[in-house]
Structure 1
Amino acid sequence: MQTPVTFIIFKRPQTTEKVFQAIRQAKPTKLFVIADGARTDREGEAEKCEATRAIIERVDWNCEVIKNYSDINLGCAKRVSSGLDWVFNNVEETIILEDDCIPHPSFFRYSEELLEKYRSDSRVATISAQNLQFGQKRTNYSYYFSRYSHCWGWASWRRAWQHYDLTIKLWKEVQAENILHDILADPKAINYWRRIFQSVYNNPTGITWDYQWTFACWMQGSLSIIPNVNLVSNIGTGADATHFTSNQEFSFINMSMKAMEFPLKHPPFIVRNREADNFTQKTVYRATVLDIFKEELKKKINYSTLKK
């Protein structure tokens, strides 16, 4: 496979190993690896980071491995965003996987073909692996278009990433001009995303980077490609997870996958699927970002208690 793959890792050797094996089967000729550093106040984390990075040393196919390893802990938001800045400074396009997102083998060919097809089409910003329609078929084609940029396994271009801004500095103007109304129309969706973006604006270097990517795509009026079948399974639950702990129940964690059929059937139009997007808003984006921040705070409090 000629398309570069970007692999984002941290401190979970067990999940990293599984995703690594999926990448190994695809055999990309170029592999970018982004790794965050251990937190000094977390006992045993340095050893976990070291064990995770050691997996990358087992690349045994014809591949140029290019590493961007941080010596200090930057946190999820800064590490992912700065790492992707680095990748897109080096290449025009890439397939991106985090250490807990296992892709179906057909995801790589699907992404590679669509990266080429829409390379110069600024209407499209993201190619996603995720399908969150829970078995509902939204199109007779291989994929449809959405306003939601799902990032559990995705691909994009430098031309799209150049609009990314971790601090979402346009938010005040967007809020003042009520631009979310023009994008979303539905009052419940507007209120949901207003709270999301305000929380991110207040704490841009917190625990999330992907809401900023959604914001960037919306500010450019860009669409995402969503496969008609789910091509990724997120296994990132448990004590080492950043967002999802084992006692949280999310129906889109550990989802089953299906193979993408080839040749791809391309839709003859580039129009978002409103029905699919409405379903996604009601089922996936039904909580608020405050729930995630509360969960992160709870984990920090629990850790502090254990240290005492």
Structure 2
Amino acid sequence: MKAPIALFAYRRADHLSRTLDALEACEGFADHDLHIYSDGPKNAAAVADVEAVRELLGFRKRPNMTVVAQEANRGLANSIISAVTALTDQYGSVIVVEDDLLLQPSALLWFQGALEKYSSSEQVMHVGGYQYSVPEFESQRSGSFQRFTTSWGWATWKRAWKHFDAQATGWEELDSDPLLERSFNAGGTFPFADMLRKQMRGGLDSWAIRWWWSVFKADGLAVMPPKSLVTNIGFDSSATHNSVGSAKALLSGPRPAVWDKPGPPDLPGAVELVPFAEQAFRRGLLRTNAMRNHKIKKGLAALGMRRFQT
């Protein structure tokens, strides 16, 4: 049985239309059940946009498609946690996509191939579809294992998702253990620890940071492609979690290379963390400027700029 695809939509019909176009162009799309979760409006201003999404989904109905239309607004985090739990219970695995992601034509083959190949490899907990700009990987055909999870197009198994801890048990240890904090921050290259603190103190609503904590605590690995199989088109004023706005274009790092070869990337053989690949990947993370930008935001918050305060 092929893994189902869970697609999460809210109020951006134009983005969703492009996401559906890309999904339907993927090799093997018709072999997967597609479950679309359309969240309800958060307020009166969102009603018309949500109705436009529902109208689009009615027009785009396909034989393998099931639409779950929520009356109330559940929020992305609750929607993903609930759906991934239900679908992995039913199917054993799931592929997760949001309404601002464009998949390359071979992306579903990559996800399904990894789900099958590593189905019994307990340490492999996450299949990523997105890749950052890592020049050392761009001439390679094979993916790599990393201690890092991405949220822009991913897949997992029931056996791995059972480790998901919504309460992020033990997160307070980050405040007293600098080595733990550095490790959780991917060797000091990404501001995960502060994201988790913000989540647990009520300033953020993210399933992704809690999933990374769960994988990290279980000593899990993610398999990632050498170049990105996913493009994010959501960084505009309509994005639910885009707090930086138009400034992001000035602050972000280099654009990732996109996988454009026939067929999917090759899957790595042995399940192991290769030092060269991990070091190259972390250099790529540094080039995103995520840690630098985070420090700038913390500095601005310390100066009293409310927009950057948690």
Counterpart of 2:88, as a letter, is F
Over residues 122-167 of structure 1, what are the superposed CA-to-partner deviations in whole Å (9 max), with x where a residue is unaligned?
A: 1111111111024432784420111111121111111111111233
Corresponding residue number in structure 2 for 1:37? 40
TM-score for the superposition, normalised by structure 2:
0.81
Q: 1:263 to 1:77 in 2, by over 3 A?
A: closer
Q: Is 2:218 aligned against 1:214? A: no
TM-score for the superposition, normalised by structure 1:
0.82
Over residues 92-116 of structure 1, what are the superposed CA-to-partner deviations in whole Å (9 max), with x where a residue is unaligned?
A: 1121110001010110111111110
Q: Following the alignment from structure 1 to structure 2, what is the Cα–Cα distance between the partners of residues 281 and 145?
A: 15
Corresponding residue number in structure 2 for 1:66? 66
Q: Following the alignment from structure 1 to structure 2, what is the Cα–Cα distance between the partners of residues 185 and 10?
A: 30
Corresponding residue number in structure 1 for 2:266? 265
Aligned-residue Cα RMSD (Å) equals 3.1
Match of 1:278, SS state, is helix
Corresponding residue number in structure 1 for 2:192? 193
The 5 Å alignment of 1:1-308 reads: 2-25=2-25, 26-40=29-43, 42-43=44-45, 45-59=46-60, 61-63=62-64, 65-137=65-137, 140-173=140-173, 180=180, 183=183, 188-189=188-189, 192-203=191-202, 206-244=204-242, 245-249=245-249, 251=252, 257-262=258-263, 264-272=265-273, 273-284=277-288, 285-286=290-291, 287-288=293-294, 291=297, 298=307
Question: Is 1:148–1:277's contact at 8 Å kept on the other side of the alignment?
Answer: no
Counterpart of 2:158, as a letter, is R
Counterpart of 1:278, as a letter, is R
91-100 or 134-143, which deviates more:
134-143
Q: What 5-or-longer segments of structure 1 have no aligned partner?
A: 300-308
Question: Is 1:127–1:226's contact at 8 Å kept on the other side of the alignment?
Answer: yes
Over residues 194-231 of structure 1, what are the superposed CA-to-partner deviations in whole Å (9 max), with x where a residue is unaligned?
A: 32221121127x33221111111101111111101111
Question: Is 2:131–2:256's contact at 8 Å kept on the other side of the alignment?
Answer: no
Question: Is 1:142–1:266's contact at 8 Å kept on the other side of the alignment?
Answer: yes
4-13 or 270-279, which deviates more:
270-279
Identity score, percent:
20
Q: Following the alignment from structure 1 to structure 2, what is the Cα–Cα distance between the partners of residues 228 and 137?
A: 5
Q: What 5-or-longer segments of structure 2 have no aligned partner?
A: none
Shift of 1:264: 5.0
Shift of 1:85: 2.3
Aligned length: 291
